[in-house]
Structure 1
Amino acid sequence: MSRLPMILATLLLALSACADPGEARPTQTTVQTTPRSTSQPIGQTTPTTQPTRDPHSGLRYIRASDLPREAPAVLRLIAQGGPFRYERDGVTFGNREGMLPRQPRGTYREYTVPTPGSRDRGARRIVCAGATRSTAECYYTADHYASFRRIQP
């Protein structure tokens, strides 16, 4: 289909050449085309592009480098198994909001991402699924479970 504009331009030029000599003819026809690789369907990613949404949860991805500066340290602690700053870190997250993929109870655990200047745990959390030290499937919320983003693996 990417060759279609080029074919149409060639046909237009051929037809204008066959026109009556007394008729005015365009002196130049310009057709702008944008080359596109036909080796990969639209919507699929290449090794250099990352998808914007997690296909499993439908949530938008967030890169670890785009998380608050306190979050990478929390991810490292999760992978190490602690020690955690807050007593409730590592408790089961019930997913009562239903915003994360539906899983059996006990699949998700929540961890606090400290908020500078906050007197309590604040609203920022990382929620991870799977084994206790796994960070393969983690989600970030900055608004105490009102919204989530999937942390890009």
Structure 2
Amino acid sequence: MSRLPIILAALLLTLCACADPSEARPTQTTVQTPTQTSGQTAGQTAQPTRDPHSGLRYIRASDLPREAPPVLTQIARGGPFRYERDGVTFGNREGILPRQPRGTYREYTVPTPGSRDRGARRIVCAGASRSTDECYYTADHYASFRRIQP
């Protein structure tokens, strides 16, 4: 009589005994959406981490350098601005911001303490000249942007 069926049966039993029992039944999976944060508790409204229009990460106004919120206030008031070039058209040649018709974006200087010139920090806003609904911050002279959370 061949011992092969006995060996195969023993092997099959060994494999079944070693298998992870959790794989045999469906598991409940928790999916964390982009609008959730790991520290979120029930009843809290999550803030999205990325702007759905541009795909850029959000930054809260309170997380901007201390020189930036006064610039946002000046933009909303229509000035006065510290630098002559504040309010000029930003061409978006880097293509990082959403593509819009020329003249959509305007740039404003965020002063850099200790800098002899305008420095590299800017706020770029879209829309009407006093609108701060869609503004972006760059600390590296347009190499990267973050959407300022409305």
Do they fold alike, i.e. is TM over 0.5? Answer: yes
Decide which of 87, 93, 97 is 1:96's aligned counterpart: 93
Decide which of 124, 140, 145 is 1:143's aligned counterpart: 140
Matching residue of 1:106: 103
In 2, Cα distance between equivalents of 1:63 and 1:122: 21
Per-residue Cα deviation, 1:97-130 (whole angstroms, up to 9, x for no partner): 0000000000000000000000000000000000
Aligned-pair CA distance for 1:35? 9.7
State yes or no: 1:125 paired with 2:115.
no
Matching residue of 1:50: 47
In 2, Cα distance between equivalents of 1:45 and 1:125: 27
In 1, Cα distance between equivalents of 2:127 and 2:97: 13
Aligned residues: 117
Aligned-pair CA distance for 1:45? 3.7
Matching residue of 2:84: 87
- Assess, with a 3 A threshold, how the Cα gap between structure 1 residues 118 and 151 changes in structure 2: closer, same or farther: same
Matching residue of 1:28: none
Gaps (5+ residues) in structure 2?
Answer: 1-26, 37-43
How big is the alpha-carbon RMSD for the aligned residues of Structure 1 and Structure 2? Answer: 1.9
In 1, Cα distance between equivalents of 2:117 and 2:35: 41
Q: TM-score, normalised by structure 1?
A: 0.72
The one-letter amino acid of 2:63's match is D
Is the partner of 1:111 in helix, strand or coil? Answer: strand
Contact persistence 2:34–2:49 (CA under 8 A): no
Matching residue of 1:116: 113
Q: TM-score, normalised by structure 2?
A: 0.73
Identity over aligned pairs, percent? 85
In 1, Cα distance between equivalents of 2:54 and 2:83: 28
- Assess, with a 3 A threshold, how the Cα gap between structure 1 residues 44 and 62 changes in structure 2: closer, same or farther: closer
Matching residue of 2:39: none
State yes or no: 1:67 paired with 2:57.
no
Aligned-pair CA distance for 1:34? 8.7
Is the partner of 2:123 in helix, strand or coil? Answer: strand
Aligned-pair CA distance for 1:42? 4.7
Is the partner of 1:121 in helix, strand or coil? Answer: coil
- Assess, with a 3 A threshold, how the Cα gap between structure 1 residues 69 and 34 changes in structure 2: closer, same or farther: farther
Is the partner of 1:74 in helix, strand or coil? Answer: helix
